[in-house]
Amino acid sequence: MAEPSNPKSNLLHTIWTNTEHILYKALFNRFTLIAFYAFWFLFGVLVLRKTQNAITAVRYVKTHGESVSLSSIEQSREFADLIKTLDKNFPRPPAIFLLNQYALNMTDNFLCNTGTLEGVHERFIFVTLDTVARDTIKKRWPQIQQFHWPTPSLYKPFSFAEGAYQTIYLLRSNLALALIKKGKSFWMMQQDTFWRKNIFDMNYEDNMAYDAIFDQLGSEEESSMRKEWVNGANFFIRANNDTQLFFESMSEKLAHWYTPDMGIMIQQCHTWKKPVCAYIPHNVVYSWEWMFTEQKDPPYLMQLDCETDGGSKLMQLGRYGFHFVNQDGSCNDQKVALAKAKMENGTVEVQMTKTLPSWGRLQFKAYWYIVDYMLWTPIIGEYLKPYLAMIGFILMITI
């Protein structure tokens, strides 16, 4: 026989249940409110920090711009000697690289990689920005040509989107302009790139259908939003009047705007009729994103630019299997061959359990996701595509 219910006990239970529900709701509302204000507070702090960084970077470029100006390059004895070297020793367009002493480890790793490819080093010219870099390259790789351009504003280590970072790209643009005005076509390249094969074998310099050919972001898929967006790490420029105007405009913008050089290249390639811009296929040059695909159709070159901090970049590359220098400084050709084989077999190890994502790569992946979504937006995305990258530094508020 069931016991009679206790009205008083049921009332207390109902009151407690209702009180508990109200308490949980109040706590949830308070937590939500705190989270809301915390988010916008953090966002505001990041915006203020980014604003300060932008002002500092632009001031840095304006302060030190004369040391990397077009006139200082053109009027220098070093540049005159460079032109003589090109006339004498370079029947094909050279590949230009820039470095200071803090990029020596990355450069050494790159040269160990490319040293396994016949005739590649003969095409290289290194722009050394301090005496340590000059003397080290001369001692370690004496056969490689140099253009020594000591630049005190670039003596220290620097990272993505900083003032010195912008200054080195202004130097690169002005050096490109100086070469074009002398009628010298050239490649501009970066050392944070793995070469599986020799890209010079593709003979892109001989195709007269375009004035410039750039590496690109995105992928070969038709749905790729960033396809035909200039990456700006490895590209060929043919010297003519149109490319001269292209780099004159780019140097002017880099000297006064807080914007990445690749953003300017994208805007000008997509909105100017000339010069004619072309894009290197992804099966020839791909960014680091290839490692996080199905790893099919490996490219000749893979740019390993997924780090915002130059100091940690080589360490991260070692975790992927792209570190080729022994402790005694000698090159490890077996590791180079192994890295090539892993790319060809699609077995580059990037699993989370073995290679935890760095903060730099996490940021890039997040921003690329946001960019893809913005470019995907109907109607608006099409109009954004030529211009969005120009405000890349501003949008990347955590960097």
Residue 378 in domain: no
Residue 386 in domain: no
Domain count, the chain: 1
pLDDT digits (tens, 9 = 90+) for 75-103: 999 999 999 999 999 999 999 999 999 99
Q: Supply the CATH number for residue 86's domain.
A: 3.90.550.10
Q: Give the pLDDT confidence score for residue 11 in this predicted structure.
A: 59
Query: Residue 89: which domain range?
Result: 48-359
Q: Give the pLDDT confidence score for residue 22 in this predicted structure.
A: 79
Task: Work out whether strand 301-303 and strand 124-128 pair parallel, antiparallel, or are unpaired.
Answer: unpaired
3-state secondary structure of 126: strand
Residue 145 in domain: yes
Q: How many CB atoms lie within 10 A of CB 41?
A: 10
Q: Give the pLDDT confidence score for residue 353 in this predicted structure.
A: 39
Q: Give the pLDDT confidence score for residue 9 in this predicted structure.
A: 64
Residue 96 in domain: yes
Give the strands of the sheet with 277-279, arranged side by side.
145-148, 124-128, 95-99, 186-188, 230-237, 212-216, 277-279
Residue 101 in domain: yes
Place of tokens 């003589």: 84
3-state secondary structure of 251: helix
Those residues of the chain that have pLDDT short of 70 are 1-16, 222, 306-312, 351-358
Query: What is the separation, in whole angstroms, between the first and last Cα of the chain?
Result: 73
Residue 367 in domain: no
Residue 379 in domain: no
Residue 364 in domain: no
The residue type found at 268 is Q
Judge contact between 193 and 187, C-beta under 8 A.
no
Q: Give the pLDDT confidence score for residue 120 in this predicted structure.
A: 97
